[in-house]
Structure 1
Amino acid sequence: MCSVEYDGLTGHVEFNSKGQRTNYTLRILEKHRRGHREIGIWYSNNTLAMNSTSLDINVSETLANKTLVVTTILESPYVMRKGNYQEYQGNDQYEGFCVDMLRELADILKCSFRIKLVDDGLYGAPEPNGSWTGMVGELINRVEGTPLAHRCISKPGVSDSEWMFTLIIISSYTANLAAFLTVQRMEVPIESPDDLADQTNIEYGTIHGGSTMTFFMNSRYQTYQRMWNYMHSKQPSVFVKSTEEGIARVVNSKYAFLLESTMNEYYRKLNCNLTQIGGLLDTKGYGIGMPLGERGMERLK
């Protein structure tokens, strides 16, 4: 075997006296919006030759004097309109955890941002044709709020251009998908999703177009499939357009709202008549969504 030497699909194939492959190279690829591109070569003698990489970009120069278009959605306590927001313009109309975070990021990266509320008011869910709704759809399609942004996107080398990324830290799309059941304190003993699925006295649902809905829609677990079939076919619809609508429905009727954990905790602290049942269904991390392959935005990750 040690005497074998040929060129194959993985390049030059040769072995040393110990049977270890030698005299070979590894191509280093970088994920790009249009696929992958080679940015360097690693040699088996531990030599590394880099051609180019986005990692050597001077981020301060890349983002300086540029405006990031931030697509987001109103959701307390992350992004909220101020009580007197009509007296303000632009970003000054908003407050909340994510707004504070954006200001800190802009200060660190020496750039500015413009908050744009998502047009359809949805977090984002896949459509049968492969497209996406909500913030995810706007991120994929690079929907900008003004003609200026569109012109600047087509000229990434021009100063003051507007780039777009989606603030989905507030979205249950990548949130800690606890899908807790938030219900009124009532006599019906419900302690788990199975208990909820086995009864008909209490309706239950999720935000329409969010990942909690998508989670149940795509689940292969029998209980969650039963719950999805119920929610999908129930009329009138058990899906709601916003967290506020879901909480109001819980308070005013026999309804269980499947909600991600941080929002569940927030609203339970505001209203002692709400309680949480069940445990984690799934876990995912928070993050900031950006267009695939967008150069110069690494530090936003």
Structure 2
Amino acid sequence: WLENRLPAPATRADTRGTQTRKKEFHHSSRQPLVGDWTPTDNVVFMTNYTKAMTEGYRENLKNKTLTVVTIGGNPYCMEKEEKERTDENSDVQYKGYVVDLIHEIAEVLGFKYTIKLVEDGSYGRKNERGEWNGMIKELIEGKADIACADLTITYEREAAVDFTMPFMSLGIGILYKKHKKEPPRLFSFMSPLAMDVWVYLITSFLGVTLFLFFVARFSPYEWVNPHPCVKEPEELKNNFSMKNTLWFTIGCLMQQGCDIMPRSLSTRVLAASWWFFILILVSSYTANLAAFLTVERMVNPIESAEDLSKQTKIPYGCVKSGSTEAFFRNSNFSTYARMWSFMESYRPSVFVESNTKGVDRVKKGDYAYLMESTSIDYIVQRECELYQVGALLDSKGYGIATPPDSPYRSIISDAILKLQEDGKLHMLKERWWSGKGKCESGKDTQKVQGSASELGLANVGGVFVVLAAGSCIAIFICIGEFIWKMKNIPRNERDHICVELLREIKYVICCYGNTRPIRKVSDVDGVIQPGNGLPFMPLTGYQDMNKDEEKERDLVRYDVDRDDTPQKFTYSNDSKTNIYEADYYSNYKASDV
């Protein structure tokens, strides 16, 4: 190579004064001096040899026509429509990111180019015999000068051809179809709470109702005089019948209240526990119901590559003879190795000929496609029913491939670096990725993570503990009230406390009714006390009226005339006289006279 390019020899004197023939060799007559050759010292290159050679190659590249091989695919290289085509030259028959990138590089370096599609439609893969296919094969065989496409830089390809610096960074992602939004259910109001919470709530409601019923019947302070005006009643009444108790608990549950309220300390403790239980549960239900009504819920069967590898219901694959296939085939990571074993053994085959066919298969449903994240970003901007699952599986880049030891690699890398510094690479990506997108968001993973979730038993289990603790405390207080009641009865008028306790439990369990005969209790002075026998807890509504101070009331009735004149009643006392007029239907009207 040097002998064919050596110019005429030149004679120079060395430092020792002897004449030695030296040859100054150039790459061409237009290129600068790169070194000297002598028979004794052989080749002596100049210190700026690399820079000089690069400048020489750059000058040689100007006005030269390069053959660019690429592969079809959105948005990198697409055929123009009929109305967009021209007959000037072949390169204008295509459009896309790669076409614009080659055009920008050609503007910087000043060369011409022609674009052709790869013959076998493959990126490049080495088979068992060490033979390459696709664009890598055409570069090795000299059918193309450069290969510009969404061609991933890999170790295996780098050993066969040369790559420029990456013009785009990316990683492997998972493309999947969104699940359709579920229509509202008839009982969607039950969604804020899990099913087990609803079961426990109904059980607690019935349990508290029965518990309050028995505690109220067992407590002596819930048996009151049904007629407060009667000083010595014959029987006492308990307002907490089964129907009233059920109405009380359901009124509290619906936060509507009830006209029956507990009187004794034990029933009040139990009621307070039930109220606290309802307060927390209803507040949690209301807050979570608002989230369910405002947040769109999306159910996704897979959230990451780990989820994808642990199931076999949804098949997944990638493009055939691509870098993604090589990544899984050569990976030693357990998850990716398991995924490759599944893809290789699954039938029918999960591998596709191109990204377009892979996307079409994803649209049909029940298929996940593994592809570069840049292509996924482009697709999800235009196909709103698709989205990217999880994070990227790796990190790599796209580069322009050249034949081995090509002098144009460093020159094209410098041009790519200049385009990156000028912001043109970013402008090209925005033009072809986001410029014509119709979807609002390319990724819905954040929406899935931010959706509302039902409250399980672990979230609201504490209120059940509070309710159970309040019920237990109410039992002990109720027993204490009964013992206190028995202590106030003389020993000769009652049995042993345990016997009385068992008798009372039997009376409560057998449900003999809401009334019971009053028990006459003698105090220490032998005076019979009416009611419940507690001087410090008088009967509700009872007033000891002094008959000497009571005013006499007269009621005078006049007969009704035949012409239906109103009846007249006269009520007299010391201060005034009221005349009540009543019509035929006894609707009274009072006036002071």
State TM-score, norm by structure 1: 0.72
> Alpha carbons of 1:296 and 1:275: their partners in 2 closer, same or farther (altered >3 Å)?
closer
Match of 2:308 in 1: 196
Higher mean C-alpha deviation, range 64-73 or range 85-94:
85-94
Give, in angstroms, the shift of residue 214 of structure 1: 0.5
Matched, 1:171 2:156: no
Q: Deviation of residue 142 (structure 1)?
A: 2.1
Answer whether contact 1:183 1:250 (CA < 8 A) is retained. Answer: yes
Matched, 1:55 2:51: yes
Distance 1:197 1:255, change over 3 A: same
Kept in 2: contact 1:177–1:212 (CA 8 A):
no
Distance apart, 1:268 and its partner CA: 0.3
Q: How does 1:106-185 map to 2 (within 5 A)?
A: 106-144=106-144, 164-168=145-149, 170-172=150-152, 176=169, 178-185=171-178
The structure carrying a bigger strand percent of its residues is 1
CA distance in 2, matches of 1:229, 1:210: 17
Q: Assess, with a 3 A threshold, how the Cα gap between structure 1 residues 133 and 176 changes in structure 2: closer, same or farther.
A: farther
8 Å contact 2:170–2:374 — kept in the other structure?
A: no
What residue number does 1:284 align with? 396
Tell me the distance in 1 between the aligned counterparts of 2:49 and 2:130.
Answer: 31
Match of 2:66 among 65, 68, 78: 68
- In structure 2, give the amino acid aligned to 1:100: D
**Aligned-residue offset at 1:181:** 0.8
- Secondary structure of the structure 2 residue equivalent to 1:136: helix
Q: SS at 1:270's partner residue?
A: coil
**Distance in 2 between the 1:263 and 1:72 partners?**
16
Name 2:364's counterpart in structure 1: 252
Aligned to 1:94: 94
Residues 133/177 of structure 1: CA separation in 2 closer, same or farther (3 Å cut): farther
Instruction: Write the deviation string for residues 195-233 of structure 1: whole angstroms up to 9, x where unpaired.
Output: 111112211000001100100000000111111011112
Shift of 1:298: 2.2
Q: Taking structure 2 as the reference length, what is the TM-score of the superposition?
A: 0.38
1:36-51 counterparts in 2 under 5 A? 50=46
Measured after TM superposition, the shift of residue 287 of structure 1 is 1.5
Q: Secondary structure at the match of 2:370?
A: strand
Secondary structure of the residue that 1:108 maps to in structure 2? helix
Q: What is the CA–CA distance in structure 1 between the aligned matches of 2:410 and 2:382, rounded to whole Å?
A: 37
Query: 3-state DSSP class of the match of 1:285?
Result: strand
Cα shift at 1:52: 7.4
Name whichever structure is richer in helix by fraction: 2
Q: Structure 2: where are the runs of 5+ without partners?
A: 1-34, 37-43, 155-167, 180-298, 414-593
* 1:127-175 alpha-carbon deviations (Å, 9 max, x no partner): 111222211222223224xxxxxxxxxxxxxxxxxxx01114x224567
1:292 Cα deviation (Å)?
2.0
Look up the match of 1:241: 353
Secondary structure at the residue paired with 1:213?
helix
Secondary structure of the equivalent of 2:381?
Answer: helix
CA distance in 2, matches of 1:188, 1:108: 48
The answer on whether the counterparts of 1:250 and 1:256 sit within 8 Å (CA) in structure 2 is yes
> Separation in 2 of the partners of 1:271 and 1:100?
24
C-alpha deviation, 1:54, in angstroms: 4.3
Give me the whole-angstrom Cα distance separating, in 2, the residues matched to 1:107 and 1:172: 24
CA distance in 1 between counterparts of 2:372 and 2:128 reads 25
CA contact (8 A) 1:69 1:115 kept: yes
Give the distance between the partners of 2:100 and 2:106, measured in 1 at CA.
10
Structure 1 range deviating more: 66-75 or 77-86: 77-86
CA distance in 1: counterparts of 2:77 and 2:123, whole angstroms: 13
Which segment is superposed worse, 53-62 or 125-134? 53-62
Tell me the residue number matched to 1:206: 318
Contact 1:62 1:296 (C-alpha < 8 Å) held by counterparts? no
User: Structure 2 counterpart of 1:166, which letter?
Assistant: A
Equivalent pairs counted in the alignment come to: 236
Cα distance in structure 2, aligned partners of 1:177 and 1:282: 8
1:124–1:173 contact (8 Å) kept in structure 2: no
In structure 2, give the amino acid aligned to 1:171: L
CA distance in 1, matches of 2:171, 2:398: 13
- 1:180 and 1:276 in contact (8 A); partners too: yes
Per the alignment, in what secondary structure is the counterpart of residue 129 of structure 2? coil
What is the deviation of 1:285? 2.0
Distance 1:177 1:134, change over 3 A: farther
CA contact (8 A) 2:69 2:147 kept: yes
Structure 2 CA distance for aligned equivalents of residues 86 and 110 of structure 1: 24
User: Secondary structure of 2:374's partner?
Assistant: helix
1:154 corresponds to which residue? Answer: none
Any idea what the Cα deviations from partners look like across 1:53-94, whole Å, max 9, x if unmatched? 443132442102211111100111111110116654511101
Alignment partners' CA distance in 1, 2:346 and 2:85: 39
Tell me, in whole angstroms, the C-alpha distance in 2 between the residues paired with 1:298 and 1:281: 30
Percentage identity across paired residues of the two chains: 39
In structure 2, give the amino acid aligned to 1:65. N
